[in-house]
Amino acid sequence: MLLAIDTCGSTGTIALARREGDHITVLGTAELANKTYSAMLVPQLRELLEMHQTSLQEIEAIIVVNGPGSFTGVRVGVSAVKGLAEVFATPVIAVSRLHVLAHRAQSRYVALDAGRGEFYFRDDEPVASRELLLSLNELQDELHSEAARHALAVCEEKVAAVFPEARLVDPATASDALAVVLPRLPTGDFDDLAALDGNYLRRSDAELFAKQKSGVQAGKTQ
């Protein structure tokens, strides 16, 4: 049995599934309304388990979508999973929300709204994948060709309005995350619980300080 949790976006999702070899069957799902994650995650999880006569002791692994997205949502999901995993000694696999969206859309390029006029972006390059936090100009530079812009997949109307050539798909869910991590399960490729954290993709303090400093200097020059 597998449990997947995603509280990164405007709607949270939970999925309970059964794994049989390289096949996963989703048994049940639950949705969490935005801004209710902290209060409703555990009750909804308990209800889902009881509905399918399953206990946390029977869970083979917990999959958590650990961002990027809402800071509060990411923290709630990751903290809850760490608490459950520690109590029941359950292995955990963390997966990027961008990775799950790319897998669902079957697209090399995906983007999510990051607020402040910025975007979370993933490029599944042939050799290695990249995940970045980009300004609009930086993202336009990444998608410099018409083919790249048409290959972009998005799941938010706000982002689709900025990139009309992009393909608008349904948001990824906890159920989608199960398919992404399936290859890691047989090999026991789990995450270190002590080191598990949110995938925030925010700029480092050094970058922010450098940007602020350059702005101040530019102001003085003027």
Q: pLDDT digit string (tens) for 32-69?
A: 998 899 999 999 999 999 999 999 999 999 999 999 99
Residue 161: predicted pLDDT: 97
Residues 91, 188 contacting (CB under 8 angstroms): yes
Reference 73, options 36, 114, 44, 99; nearest CA is: 36
Name the amino acid, one letter, at 14. Answer: I
pLDDT tops 50 at residue 166: yes
Distance separating alpha carbons of residues 19 and 2, to the nearest angstrom: 7
In this prediction, residues 18-42 reach a mean pLDDT of 94
Reference 72, options 202, 200, 204, 205; nearest CA is: 200
Residue 208: predicted pLDDT: 47
Pairing of strands 152-154, 167-168: parallel
The torsion angle over the Cα atoms of residues 80, 83, 87 and 90, rounded to 10 degrees, is 70
Task: Count Cβ atoms below 10 Å from residue 101 Cβ, excluding itself.
Answer: 26
Reference 32, options 52, 54, 5; nearest CA is: 5
pLDDT tops 50 at residue 123: yes
Residues facing residue 131 across a β-bridge: 122
User: Which three-class secondary structure state does DSSP give residue 191?
Assistant: coil
pLDDT tops 90 at residue 127: no
Q: What percent of the chain has pLDDT over 70?
A: 91
Residue 15, both tokens? 């999925």
User: Which three-class secondary structure state does DSSP give residue 97?
Assistant: helix
Residues facing residue 134 across a β-bridge: 119
pTM of the model: 0.90
Q: Where are the beta strands (DSSP E) in the chain?
A: 2-6, 11-20, 23-33, 61-65, 92-95, 109-115, 118-124, 129-135, 152-154, 167-168
Task: Count Cβ atoms below 10 Å from residue 180 Cβ, excluding itself.
Answer: 21
Q: pLDDT digit string (tens) for 197-219?
A: 999 997 554 444 555 555 545 45
DSSP state, 164?
Answer: T
